[in-house]
Amino acid sequence: MDEDSAHVPVLLEAVLAALAPAPGAWCVDVTGGRGGHSATLLARLGTTGRLLILDRDPQAVAFLVQRFGDDARVTVRRAAFSHLAEVLAGEGWDGVDAILADLGVSSPQLDEAQRGFSFLRDGPLDMRMDPEAGMSAATWLAAAEEREISTVLRDYGEERFARPIARAICRRRAVAPITRTGDLAEIIATVLPRREPGQHPATRSFQGIRIYINEELAELERFLPQAMAALRPGGRLAVISFHSLEDRIVKRFMRADAFRPAPGLPLREDQLPPLPWHAVGKAQRAGEEESRRNPRARSAVLRVAEKSLEGVPCVVRR
């Protein structure tokens, strides 16, 4: 089985139904990965549609160029999605009809031990989505103070035992550097010998370190207003998240809370200012069949928002 056929896009049918790309639409997939979502969107765009694909992982970009490079409708760019506005300006795109963001780590990143994301496969402790930028997890763990490690595990990994895990990490690194995913997973397992049903003891800690190393939540907060500013009236943004920290940010943003009047103001409904966008439907999750076929879909949550047709100003706040 080749690499792209082995990859299973999460919530694919729900994404297509939500974005409903018409022939001639201009769309953006800001997390291209192996191109599963991109290929299906592209099939709906006809001969005059356009698709811009972003990814900050150089391996993913190389794969996407190879897969779509012969299609004149497709543009592939290496960039984090927090640079969406900059990339669109560079391409001369002044508006798009649909934007998709499939957050978190990709299946190929998890499956390749050398990338250092997985506690199930021993490899170098890296965890960078762009291995040519920033510091690796091993470099950070070698220098961070115990309190900082504990805070990251607690705030980004939602790990209840963050303090004893951080303490164990600092004790071990005093003896020898922690440079392998297997070493880190072993340290965590000694602190948490009991695991939650169906969950490895290192799950939450690896998530927290990965989110911190890649600045995932800050990237998401920078991306969302840029996406809405880029959409044409009636255009839609679809975001798939995989844990509560991401989903909370997306949910609050899509409600457009920042544009609502303060609670308690004596306003009738017809006096309320129009919102620049609104959430479309409820959050969607994978059904039993998809979760069975693709276990990574179990935690996926899809939320969708649509830009207002009324021409309400949508400002990118920096």
Report how far residue 85's alpha carbon sits from residue 129's, in angstroms, rounded to the nearest whole number.
20
> Architecture of domain 113-214 in CATH?
Orthogonal Bundle (1.10)
Structure tokens at 171: 């004790």
Backbone angles phi, psi at 169, to 5 degrees: -60, -45
Q: Is the dihedral of CA 177, 181, 183, 184 positive or negative?
A: positive
Q: In this model, does residue 317 exceed pLDDT 60?
A: no
- Comparing CA positions, the residue from 101, 36, 134, 118 lying closest to residue 246 is 101
What is the reported pLDDT for 104? 80
DSSP, residue by residue, 236-263: EEEEEE-SHHHHHHHHHHHTTGGGSPPT
Residue 180: partners with Cβ closer than 8 Å, 6 or more residues away? 122, 123, 124, 125
| Phi and psi based region of residue 179 (left: phi greater than 0; alpha: psi -120 to 50; beta: remaining) | alpha
Report how far residue 161's alpha carbon sits from residue 163's, in angstroms, rounded to the nearest whole number.
6
What is the reported pLDDT for 30? 97
State CA 50 to chain mean position distance: 22
Q: Tell me the percentage of the chain whose pLDDT exceeds 70.
A: 87
| Phi and psi based region of residue 65 (left: phi greater than 0; alpha: psi -120 to 50; beta: remaining) | alpha
Q: Answer yes or no: are the C-beta atoms of 304 and 17 closer than 8 Å.
A: no
What average pLDDT does the segment 212-232 reach? 96
Report how far residue 241's alpha carbon sits from residue 247's, in angstroms, rounded to the nearest whole number.
6
Q: Give the mean pLDDT of the chain.
A: 88
Question: Greater confidence, 259 or 23?
Answer: 23
Q: What CATH topology corresponds to 3-102+216-307?
A: Rossmann fold (3.40.50)
- Is it true that 3-102+216-307 and 113-214 share their CATH fold? no
Global confidence as pTM: 0.89
Report how far residue 137's alpha carbon sits from residue 40's, in angstroms, rounded to the nearest whole number.
34
Structure tokens at 12: 């694919």
112-138: pLDDT as tens digits: 777 767 888 889 999 999 989 899 999
Q: Binning pLDDT at 50, 70 and 90, where does residue 213 land?
A: very high
Burial of 167 (0-12, 13-18, 19+ CB in 10 A): middle
Listed by start position, the domains of the chain span 3-102+216-307, 113-214
